[in-house]
Amino acid sequence: MKVWQEVEDPVTHATGHKEVTLFTDQKCKLSYEKQTSTTPAGGPALIAQTTKLFIAPELDIPAGSKIIVTQHGKTVEFARSGEPAVYTDHQEIMLEAFERYA
């Protein structure tokens, strides 16, 4: 998990923005769901995919974080969208493909 935040340079004491790593090597699971809908005029079906992250409940993942997941040898970057649904043994976070920091 990474965030874009203000960081002070220890030498110059100038403040700038930088990508900062919050967590690494956290066990997680991705769930993909395809949603299909048709148009009222009978046009082609629209297909959308939603991605949900399942991860430990004690991790505080701020809005706008970049979430990088490596699964089955493939690495994908996501942005967090929406508030997490936190349960006793996990939290669920809806994700979208990462394009840039807001």
List, for residues 65-94, the tens digit of each pLDDT value: 889 999 889 999 988 877 889 999 999 999
Q: What is the pLDDT of residues 90-101, one digit of tens each?
A: 999 999 887 766
**What's residue 44's pLDDT?**
73
DSSP secondary structure, the chain, as one string: -EEEEEEE-TTT--EEEEEEE---S--EEEEEEEEEE--TT--PPEEEEEEEEEE-TT----TT-EEEEEETTEEEEEEE-S--EE-SS-EEEEEEE-----
Name the band, by pLDDT with cuts 50, 70 and 90, for residue 37: low
> What is the H or E stretch that residue 69 is in?
strand 66-71
What's the predicted TM-score (pTM) here?
Answer: 0.72
Taking only the tens place, the pLDDT of each residue in 38-55 is 666 766 767 777 899 999
